[in-house]
Structure formats: structure tokens, C-alpha cells
Amino acid sequence: KETSAKESNVAKIKVVVRKRPLNKKEISRKEEDIVSVHENSYLTVHEPKLKVDLTAYVEKHEFAFDAVIDEHISNDEVYRVTVEPIIPTIFKHTKATCFAYGQTGSGKTFTMKPLPLRAVEDILRLLRQPSYFNQRFKLWLSYFEIYGGKLFDLLSDRRKLCMREDGRQQVCIVGLQEFEVSDVRIVNEFIEKGNSARSTGSTGANEESSRSHAILQLAIKKHKEIIDTRRQNDSNDAKSGKVIGKISFIDLAGSERGADTTDNDRQTRIEGAEINKSLLALKECIRALDNDQIHIPFRGSKLTEVLRDSFVGNSKTVMISCISPNAGSCEHTLNTLRYADRVK
Ligand code: ADP
Ligand code: MG
């Protein structure tokens, strides 16, 4: 009863901004916190600037979003604001996506990591309800990454994957391992395993994951009695039944990486161009979705192609834009907020 009332109120697209606290390094450098959050829905960035005569002044930038989460808010509360309301919809043929966008170090992974865990708890609870239990619904988990435009399975030794469309607008990732989840405890292990398998770059802390998009998917499927194991990786239907709905949790590449297109290193430039392309394509797809456009430009990048079935039909999108509060990150913070602003 309560669920259905909530469900009908779930917006198709929700844009949420999360500000992290200043870290120890920033505090020791006496960096200023230039982001102030008001009434959980808007914020002001106080940009430090210099006049031509070198006198300092502050330029204020105001932004409003569906929700703005300040540095005192827990991950549990973030879950309640972002993912919890859309969980019941994925039992009703909805494809949901939750993105974390922002510069490296802004809190994307910190924010995303606990969300699938909480989602699995809620999904398993709903699956035990008689109406779903009797329909033989099962929950499946997969975790892969897009790196330099290529797909890798994070739960099977970074096996290279390829994508195929099945003619019914369903995306099939050939070879992707899926695991049935019937106990929440195992999910943490999957997440840890997947996270440690993410791409490793060359330099600096946090470098590893900043150039790839990590995609964790939870799918509810209607279980078939007969499973043909020979074709188990051939199609989702053959393996474990028809997909009822799904939710994807996407820890996007660091948004500043899209600007690496003039780097001296060729590989870095190629990756930068790919990231730039995918983040632009993502914005265009979400905007098209918001405007109820019939043509969704999902072919713009591997990321949006993979998410194709999440941009058609019943879909729900939550964008969590993560921002750093320190003065030194001001330019990146403004870029992130402008991106989030354009999405809405
Ligand atoms: P990203 O994935 O965007 O590169 P991380 O999630 O790794 O960034 O966060 C960078 C650092 O900041 C990590 O040490 C993380 O624990 C910390 N952090 C991020 N967000 C918060 C927060 N809201 N509260 C406390 N610490 C945070
Ligand atoms: Mg990260």
C-alpha cells in the first residue's frame, strides 16, 4: 500500500548533488570550504577571484537541484534519498540507473559502494513477499567496467567482453558472468572483488579507477524451470529467465579525465577522448529521456550503447553529482555543477 503510493511519485530523472567534507590534507593546507548548502536543495559556490589590480573578491554561483546533500549526511540517508524510492519500480518492468559523476577524489566510489548492498537488502525483502515469491523471481548480479571503450568483466579476471543487440532492443553482453544473489552477505564480497579488479593506471593515488566506468547491475528475472547450460552465456533468457527489471549502479570515470585530450601520452589522450565522448553522450541521452524524445542518441559512446535498454520504455535515472568543497577544486566543482544543471 505504502509502496505503490511512493512509487507513482518517483520522478523519471532525479539530480542530486553530494558535497564531501574537507579532507585532512586540505585542512592542513588551510584550504577554504567554498561550498554552502541551503535547505537540502540548493547551494552556493564562493569562487575566489582576483581583479586586474590583484585585489581579491568572491564570485557567487547558485544552483538548485532535486536534492543537495551536505557533508554531514550519512550513506544510509543518501540511499534513502536516491535509490530506495526506485526499488519497487524495478519489479514492474522498469530499468533504473544510478550514476555517480564528479572529479577524481570527490567521493563517487565512497557514495556508490554501499548502495547496491542496501538495494539487495530491499530487493530480497520484496522477493520474499508471496506475490513475487510465487512468480519465481530471482536476483542476479554482474559487475563490469568500460575502459578505453572496451568492456571487462570485473568478476571473472577481467575477461574481455563484447556487446550485442538482440533485435528487441535488448542489450546482451556476451560472456558476462552473472551470479544469483539470495543472501546479502555475498554482495560485499562481489563488490570488493570487482573493485580490486578495476583498471590500474600508472601514477598517483586514486588513479586506478579514475579512467574507467564501473557498472554493477542487479537484475530481477523470472526463473525458468529448464536451464540449458550449454547456452548459459549466450543470452540472458537462456541462462536464467526473462528480465523483469534491473538497476545499474555506475561509478563513472573522473570527469576531469575527459580533458586529458592534450596529454603528452598517446594512450592517456585516447582514453581522455573516450571519457569525454561518453560523458557528453550520457548527458545527451538523459536530456533526450527527460524531453520524452523518441530518438535517444545512445550510439554516441560505448557507455550509452551498453545502457541502451535503460534509456527506453519505463526508466528511472538518478544522477549523483559528487563535489569537493575545497577552493583548489573550484573549477572542477563548477564544471560538475554545470553538467548536472544541463542534465536536468
Ligand atoms: P572518487 O571515487 O570520486 O575518486 P572517493 O570516493 O575515492 O573519490 O573519495 C576520495 C576520498 O574522500 C576517500 O578517502 C573517501 O573515503 C573520502 N570521502 C569521500 N566522500 C566522503 C564523505 N561524504 N564523507 C567522508 N569521507 C568521504
Ligand atoms: Mg573512485
Residue 235 inside a domain? The answer is: yes
**Three-class HEC string of the chain:** CHHHHHHHCCCCEEEEEEECCCCHHHHHCCCCECEEEECCCEEEEEEEEECCCCCEEEEEEEEECCEEECCCCCHHHHHHHHCHHHHHHHHCCCEEEEEEECCCCCCHHHHHCCHHHHHHHHHHHHHCCHHHHCCCEEEEEEEEEEECCEEEECCCCCEEEEEEECCCCCEEEECCCCEECCCCHHHHHHHHHHHHCCCCCCCCCCCHHHHEEEEEEEEEEECCCCCCHHHCCCCHHHHHCEEEEEEEEEECCCHHHHHHHHCCCHHHHHHHHHHHHHHHHHHHHHHHHHCCCCCCCHHHCHHHHHCHHHCCCCEEEEEEEEECCEHHHHHHHHHHHHHHHHHC
pLDDT value at position 5? Answer: 44
Q: Whose CA is nearest to atom 20 of ligand 1?
A: 107
Residue 122 inside a domain? The answer is: yes
pLDDT value at position 238? Answer: 46
Distance (angstroms) between ligand 1 centre and the Cα of 73 equals 13
pLDDT value at position 294? Answer: 82
The residue whose CB lies within 8 Å of the most ligand 1 atoms, and thus the one to mutate among 35, 110, 112, is 110
Distance (angstroms) between ligand 1 centre and the Cα of 311 equals 29
Which atom from ligand 1 is nearest to the alpha carbon of 18?
Answer: 23
Residue 97 inside a domain? The answer is: yes
Residue 239 inside a domain? The answer is: yes
Dist CA 108 CA 125 (whole Å)? 27
Which atom from ligand 1 is nearest to the alpha carbon of 100?
Answer: 3
Which atom from ligand 1 is nearest to the alpha carbon of 20?
Answer: 23
Cell 565512497 sits on residue: 110
pLDDT value at position 271? Answer: 84
Q: Which domain holds residue 220?
A: 2-16+73-202+211-329+337-343
Grid coordinates in use for 235? 543470452
Dist CA 121 CA 168 (whole Å)? 31
Dist CA 162 CA 298 (whole Å)? 17
pLDDT value at position 136? Answer: 85
Which atom from ligand 1 is nearest to the alpha carbon of 104?
Answer: 4
pLDDT tens for residues 202-260? 444 456 568 899 999 999 998 876 545 554 444 444 455 788 999 999 999 999 988 87
pLDDT value at position 200? Answer: 61
CATH number at residue 146: 3.40.850.10
Residue 41 inside a domain? The answer is: no
Grid coordinates in use for 90? 524495478
- Long-range pairs for 55-61: beta carbons < 8 A, 24 or more residues apart: 61/334, 61/337
Dist CA 115 CA 84 (whole Å)? 9
Ligand 1 neighbours by CB, cut-off 6 Å: 20-21, 23, 71, 102, 104-110, 206, 322
Instruction: Tally the domains of the chain.
Output: 1
Dist CA 230 CA 156 (whole Å)? 18
Residues of the chain predicted below pLDDT 50 = 1-5, 201-205, 227, 231-238
Dist CA 60 CA 337 (whole Å)? 13
Residue 22 inside a domain? The answer is: no
Residue 47 inside a domain? The answer is: no
pLDDT tens for residues 116-138? 999 999 999 999 988 887 788 99
Residue 61 inside a domain? The answer is: no
Distance (angstroms) between ligand 1 centre and the Cα of 108 equals 7
Distance (angstroms) between ligand 1 centre and the Cα of 324 equals 9
